[in-house]
């Protein structure tokens, strides 16, 4: 999957996590059957809030989004445990 598709996929996962739907997010990630490199990129998109597909760079912002990041970390740990 190319980075642009992965970025769009991360937006879909982010929406699921924002709606507290972690099991559906996990299911979609597992079904995507991503390589470790793709998974790393996906979780970087989820951890940072500013990937720019045009420049292929991440912009990091300081913000208190700890509840969302806890969900991201939970899903990430569950995905890594299963592989």
Is the pTM above the cut of 0.75? no
Q: Write down the pLDDT at residue 61.
A: 63
Give 15's pLDDT tier (boundaries 50, 70, 90).
very high
Q: Judge contact between 26 and 78, C-beta under 8 A.
A: yes
Q: How many CA atoms lie within 13 A of 58 on its CB side?
A: 14
* pLDDT tens digits for range 21-52: 999 999 999 999 999 999 989 988 887 767 77
Give 60's pLDDT tier (boundaries 50, 70, 90).
low
Q: Write down the pLDDT at residue 38.
A: 94
Distance (Å) of CA 62 to CA 13, 29, 34, 47? 21, 27, 29, 11
């Amino acid at each position: 999957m190319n980075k642009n598709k992965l970025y769009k996929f991360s937006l879909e996962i982010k929406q699921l996590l924002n709606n507290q739907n972690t099991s559906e997010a996990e299911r979609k990630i597992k079904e995507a059957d991503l390589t470790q490199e793709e998974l790393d990129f996906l979780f970087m998109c989820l951890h940072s809030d500013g990937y720019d597909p045009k420049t292929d760079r991440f912009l990091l912002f300081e913000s208190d989004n700890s509840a969302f990041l806890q969900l991201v970390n939970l899903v990430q740990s569950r995905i890594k445990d299963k592989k």
